[in-house]
A and B are shown apart, each in its own frame.
Chain A
């Protein structure tokens, strides 16, 4: 028996791998949501471009000084030892994202994601230079002309200018921005600073100018897993199919209901405004970034037709299916997963706030001298050598007195007391600890260093603090 294996051409698969992207020319949109998006764009960009210029304690208020390994955030100075706060920050961001997504879908994508924000700004510039979406299409399809070249050159020059400023601002978070301006002006900017300005500038230009919605469709992991945070009570941009269908064009005065038509006049404006080029009427799709451009656009059409607004609106799947209103939707916001996310989020924020508030502004590490474990010195005493790494996280100098306890008769030798550490600096002090061998057994014994903050006169003033750090004393 012969078995025939059918041969199937793989053309389709090939095409899918090399899908050619059709450039999307989104139509400009105005309305309630568009206005809010612009508000968010302004606020986020004001914060982004403005923050590095703020001054605090006569230094840059927010500076992630990688060369000095210190992060300044207003009144706080973070050291590599404070790594835990970075983890906490990530946790807070993650839980906020989970919470917002569970309540109202892709709020982050639609309003605050840098990809959305910069694409919005770049689209605005493009419209200012090349005209609206129809003019842009005409320009691209038309013959190569002096006007076309001029407009394109101008557009890219403006885009590149903005991108470089964005890159410069980013580097300004890591290297003092005022000095950076000075070195740019004098062509004395360091190679890595230059590199990163161009790198981030290029990324901005490429992502917001060229890739645009492809970043959301192909690159963004959040777009893929956000579905896991959705449920039937999540607010998403929804086309009310029951109300809209059957779609079709009609005259304004027509009694369309008698003709069996729904409220959708099939004008395609919701498709034209969509930055990812989808048709929201096909239902919830992963490409939808929740930018609400179609809501604004459709509401305007509904107004023109004198139909009620909200054919496309923020709604939950349940509310559309079971036809309930805002009141019930809001009531359903308080469901277990939302409450759980909220409780976790606040627990982390409050715990972080408390630890930051009570943060002891000094850190101590005890390092045993690796060379000599213990030795006998004059008078028959046993000596161990330690190095104490002291770190002052405050922005003022601090004096310390170091004590040691744990074994009777322990004494510190070879250390000037008190020790002073400059503002936001660290210092390693070497010290010898001696004890009479009568009081200390063979082998390891626990001892404890106590670092006490003192005032200028060397007294333990009220409001000062002390830290205890355990160590081992060795006697052979």
Chain B
């Protein structure tokens, strides 16, 4: 289980890190408009929250890959030693 958690959380962490870097290099959080209104929180908050939102999404992708890969493996005949 721990191994699976590592497989899911770690690659998505790296991907989220890269993603947040690219997004916030191009976008200044103070210029963000959410539901027609400017966000009224500090940049640090937007960076941090942005990172976690991205991490959650990338984790979801990792988890799905993990789930699909495991489902495929289970259909293989068990190997005889």
Contact = CB atoms under 8 A, between A and B. Distances in A.
- Find the residue from A66, A195, A215 having the highest chain B CB count within 10 A: A66
Given A86-B21, A190-B44, A219-B10, A13 B28 contact: no
A218 B6 contact: yes
B1 A18 contact: yes
B26 A80 contact: yes
Given A8-B78, A218-B6, A219-B10, A80 B25 contact: yes
Given A67-B42, A83-B25, A218-B3, A10 B48 contact: no
- Find the residue from A10, A80, A211 having the highest chain B CB count within 10 A: A80
Interface string B39-56: 000111101100000000
A196 interface: yes
The interface residues of chain A, by DSSP majority, are classed as helix
Contacts of B74: 13
A69 B28 contact: yes
A399 B44 CA distance: 32
Contacts of B36: none
Interface string B4-15: 001100110000
Contacts of B48: 192, 195-196
Interface in A291-313: none
A39 B21 CA distance: 33
A69 B6 contact: no
The interface residues of chain B, by DSSP majority, are classed as helix
Contacts, number: 42
A108 B26 CA distance: 32
Size bin of chain A's contact surface: 20 to 34
Given A192-B45, A196-B48, A221-B11, A13 B78 contact: yes
A12 interface: yes
Contacts of B6: 211, 214-215, 218-219
- Find the residue from A83, A211, A218 having the highest chain B CB count within 10 A: A218
A378 interface: no
Contacts of A13: 74, 78
A19 interface: yes
Contact of A66 (B2, B7, B11, B47): B47
B43 A69 contact: yes
Contacts of A67: 42-44
Contacts of B11: 221
Given A66-B44, A67-B42, A192-B44, A10 B3 contact: no
A193 B47 CA distance: 12
Contacts of A10: 78
A214 B6 CA distance: 9
Contacts of B25: 80, 83, 86
A218 B7 contact: yes
- Find the residue from B11, B42, B43, B44 having the highest chain A CB count within 10 A: B44
Interface string B57-75: 0000000000000000010
Contacts of A190: 44
Nearest to A83: B25
Nearest to B7: A218
Given A218-B7, A221-B11, 18 more contacts: A8-B77, A8-B78, A10-B78, A12-B78, A13-B74, A19-B3, A66-B44, A69-B28, A69-B43, A80-B28, A83-B26, A190-B44, A211-B6, A214-B3, A215-B6, A219-B6, A219-B7, A219-B10
17 contacts: A13-B74, A13-B78, A66-B44, A66-B47, A67-B42, A67-B44, A69-B28, A80-B25, A193-B44, A196-B48, A211-B6, A214-B3, A218-B6, A218-B7, A219-B7, A219-B10, A221-B11
Interface of B: 1-3, 6-7, 10-11, 21, 25-26, 28, 42-45, 47-48, 74, 77-78
Sorted nearest first, the 6 A-B pairs with minimum C-beta distance are A219-B10, A192-B44, A83-B25, A80-B25, A219-B6, A8-B78
